[in-house]
Structure 1
Amino acid sequence: MDVSTLSLGDPLDPARKATAEMLRTRERTYSLPQPFYNDERLFQIDMQEIFGKEWLIAGMTCEIPTKGNFITLQLGDNPILVVRGAEGKVHAFHNVCRHRGSRLCVSDKGKVAKLVCPYHQWTYELDGRLLFAGTEMGADFNMADFNLKPIHVKTAGGYIFISLADEPPAIDDFLRTLEHYMEPYDMENAKVAVRTDLVEQANWKLVLENNRECYHCSGSHPELLNTLLEWDDVTDPRASQAFKDQVAACTTRWDADNIPYAHASFGLRNRIVRMPLLAGTVSMTLDGKPGCQKLMGRIKDPDLGSMRILHLPHSWNHCMGDHMIVFTVWPLGPTETVVTTKWLVHKDAVEGVDYDPVNLRKVWDATNDQDRRLAEENQRGINSKAYQPGPYSKTYEFGVINFIDWYSERLLNNLGEEAPAAHLRQVGGD
């Protein structure tokens, strides 16, 4: 069924029916039909049913270290505000004044005593309660009826998760595990050393698909392959005996230092695993040496490999002994996406002494730009009338199959449809 032939009389309902039918009948180990990658209506469905209902990483708790610190972000048409309130509690709100709807906080980050709308000075407490609206509203005006509209928020392991859903999906089991795995990093005592925002002219799913496989790495990522070993587990059918021996030696050391490393998965949405880097390297820098001389948290050994954290629909992460890198993907349009990358170090690390931000970011600046070009060329080809879904490699692209399975199952579920049982099976060792 082709959504391009549907009437827009009732904005998205016909497209929703067509979308569900395409997902139910798709060839599971093939790429998606073309509209999933470039159709405006399908993009709006993604924003409503995936980014509007799943848990997303809004930022890191160390970005709002004390009371009154806030960050803002834009999720489709929805401006969002995250702020640290009393007793260290993190709150999330729609960044919309309850008077006439103006954005409340207009900068990316800052610190305030109260939340004051710049339009008419309506004033809110950090927990969202309306404190002042002026006598102009009349004697019968009840301020309690006009508090900020809250957004579901949870924190774990230094991450801030938000969901715009009325009833978000369960996530607490993953968050408890994340808290355990992130304990050595003491993320309340970390800071963002560098941040970049890279706009890619490609659908957000193509950005994720590219991330979920390293089939392309040898031909595209020379800087990254100075340190990265592509396997996520010793059970990967491509893993060599030398790699398995290296893992065994590393895990013995990590056990001695009480550093978590075992593979932990939560359906297809979340995965945590620590894997070694290339022998002789300890960090994702050009020379493989530490990018920051002051190690994170309680870590004493810089040779911790990389703890890889996956959070669908939009984040992957690399956590090393000296620094960590957090990637989040934010759709801007059917064929436009921004990839935000944050490099984090110990909060007491001194720029120019303990770390050089240029050196810290070189590998992933290069890798991100290489991936941008790959995704954009992928998008240009998919836009062609010649495009039709093509087969994924079950050996090299099992992570892509797992991502598309997760996406299909969640989209069908959020559309009120049931996913075929085959979509819920995990492929490979991811």
Structure 2
Amino acid sequence: MLNNAEILSQLASRPGNYSLTRDLYCDQGAFQADLEQIWYKEWLFAIPSCEIPKTGNYATLQVGAYPVLIVRGGDGKIRAFHNVCRHRGQRLCSKATGSTAKLVCPYHQWTYELDGKLLYARDMGDDFDASKFGLKTVHCVDLNGMVFVCLAQVPPAIGELAKSLIPYLAPSGLLADAKVAHSSTIVEKGNWKLVIENNRECYHCSGSHPSLCRTYSDNPLMTVMEGPNAASPEILAHWDRCDKAGMPARFVSQADMQWRLARVPLLDHAESFTMSTKSAVTRLMGGMPWADAGSLMFYHFPSSWNHFLADHAIVFRLLPISPTETEVTTKWLVHKDAVEGKDYDLEKLTEVWLSTNDEDRRVVEENQNGIRSPAYEPGPYSKTQEEGVIHFVDWYVSLMKNRLNPAPAMAAE
């Protein structure tokens, strides 16, 4: 099992634009370092806020060693807590989603208000101070319908992301006008970094994703953008059209490429990710101006990539389980008033990405199986086809090098 110094050495010796070493995709020590330096410190996409629309609605997730509970309070605010009773540590909520009037520990019935305050603890004595045993909070923000959590004591700044994401999401109406139509969770037997690398390129799409490629171009020029006025002619024309409709669409990103937003057209004016290329939902989301508005693509390292279309949205969340296992959850969002069987057919809504997710699972698992071999050695990325992978791996390497590098020793007085 690698220690931090050995991980840092492998990161430091990586040639530019090359994949990572076998250990960084397979080793338990490297996986633990990823958890401690990234997953326990960065903002993570958790759920769409429409998943818990009413008081007492909750959702849970597992981030490494930490079970997390997200709940909507009586004041309408969404909060996150460590899903751990302050008595003897029982998980308060074991289901993925649910609803409750109060948070009641199933072990000894300690009872908490939805804001985390301890309300009831039986037979604890007259000197017991309930105010000292409220639930431990987790940082939580709702950015116009996307809920992010951060386990760090002091989270990194999120203002720059919020400034861009909030207006870009507004036309989709996620905050007030959406609901979850379907949710799917799979486990890919591959390292979390391989899952993201696979997502960040379409070099493999024509050979792996026949249904997706009916509407989504595998031309790298359709995802390569250098700024709000630097893209392929087709994308620039689409951005001009969106500008005239008052819909944010142009490329915007964080300097280190941890996140990126841009709306791109689908192939041949396709309306949605469907086998027919037509809208899957007759009722468009929020204030979308046209059925062929393309896809607002938003990724945020390390935990999410997303597509916001005119008729529905698809949000993806990944969570690491082990060095070679990753949970991938996909949720399809539609207008809150859309009726299944009338306004949309669930099979037609979900079939393209259910197939694509399973195809990606097989690709990632075979990738992991090959990397397990002692014969594996890092290979070069295509600067034409795999620019997105380069962005991700460079972000990962730079962040880990900075966080694993010991602080300089204090000069002797």
TM (normalized to structure 2)? 0.93
The match for 2:164 is: 177
Query: Are residue 62 (structure 1) and residue 36 (structure 2) matched?
Result: no
Alpha-carbon distance in 1 for matches of 2:101, 2:7: 46
The match for 1:113 is: 101
Query: Are residue 33 (structure 1) and residue 21 (structure 2) matched?
Result: yes
Give the CA deviation at 1:257: 2.0
What is the aligned counterpart of 1:374 among 363, 370, 389?
363
Alpha-carbon distance in 1 for matches of 2:401, 2:198: 23
The match for 2:143 is: 156
Alpha-carbon distance in 2 for matches of 1:374, 1:235: 21
TM alignment of 1:328-367, pairs within 5 A: 328-367=317-356
What is the aligned counterpart of 2:283 among 291, 294, 317?
294
The match for 1:259 is: 247
Query: Are residue 140 (structure 1) and residue 133 (structure 2) matched?
Result: no
* Structure 2: runs of 5+ lacking an equivalent: 408-413
Give the CA deviation at 1:415: 2.7
What amino acid is aligned across from residue 100 of structure 1 in structure 2? R
The match for 1:12 is: none
TM alignment of 1:29-428, pairs within 5 A: 29-134=17-122, 136-187=123-174, 188-230=176-218, 236=224, 244-267=232-255, 268-417=257-406
* Structure 1: runs of 5+ lacking an equivalent: 5-14, 419-430
Give the CA deviation at 1:167: 1.4
What amino acid is aligned across from residue 287 of structure 2 in structure 1? R
Give the CA deviation at 1:222: 1.2
What amino acid is aligned across from residue 290 of structure 2 in structure 1? D
Alpha-carbon distance in 2 for matches of 1:300, 1:144: 51
Give the CA deviation at 1:245: 4.2
Alpha-carbon distance in 2 for matches of 1:231, 1:263: 17
Give the CA deviation at 1:256: 2.8
The match for 2:4 is: 16
Give the CA deviation at 1:217: 1.1
Alpha-carbon distance in 2 for matches of 1:328, 1:338: 8
Give the CA deviation at 1:169: 1.4
TM (normalized to structure 1)? 0.90
Alpha-carbon distance in 1 for matches of 2:24, 2:366: 16
Alpha-carbon distance in 1 for matches of 2:141, 2:14: 35
CA root-mean-square deviation: 1.8
Give the CA deviation at 1:412: 2.5
Confirm or deny: 8 A CA contact 1:224 1:284 kept in the other structure.
Answer: yes
Alpha-carbon distance in 1 for matches of 2:291, 2:223: 25
Figure out how many residues of one structure are paired with residues of the other and give that number: 401
Confirm or deny: 8 A CA contact 2:90 2:107 kept in the other structure.
Answer: yes
Report % sequence identity: 50
Confirm or deny: 8 A CA contact 2:20 2:378 kept in the other structure.
Answer: yes
Residue 232 and residue 273 in structure 1: after superposition, are their counterparts in 2 closer, same or farther (change >3 A)?
farther
Confirm or deny: 8 A CA contact 2:225 2:251 kept in the other structure.
Answer: no
Residue 300 and residue 234 in structure 1: after superposition, are their counterparts in 2 closer, same or farther (change >3 A)?
closer
Alpha-carbon distance in 2 for matches of 1:30, 1:39: 19
Residue 234 and residue 223 in structure 1: after superposition, are their counterparts in 2 closer, same or farther (change >3 A)?
closer
What is the DSSP-based 3-state SS (H/G/I as helix, E as strand, rest coil) of the residue aligned with 2:341?
A: coil
Confirm or deny: 8 A CA contact 1:232 1:275 kept in the other structure.
Answer: no
Residue 237 and residue 244 in structure 1: after superposition, are their counterparts in 2 closer, same or farther (change >3 A)?
closer
What is the DSSP-based 3-state SS (H/G/I as helix, E as strand, rest coil) of the residue aligned with 1:251?
A: helix
Alpha-carbon distance in 1 for matches of 2:160, 2:150: 16
What amino acid is aligned across from residue 395 of structure 1 in structure 2? T
Alpha-carbon distance in 2 for matches of 1:258, 1:232: 27
Confirm or deny: 8 A CA contact 1:262 1:274 kept in the other structure.
Answer: yes
Alpha-carbon distance in 1 for matches of 2:262, 2:60: 30
Question: What whole-Å deviation, never above 9, does each CA across 1:278-334 have from its counterpart, x for those lacking one?
Answer: 013111111110010110012231111111001001211111100011111111111
Question: What whole-Å deviation, never above 9, does each CA across 1:186-214 have from its counterpart, x for those lacking one?
Answer: 11220111111111111111111111111
Q: Which 4+ residue blocks in structure 1 deviate beyond 4 angstroms?
A: 231-235
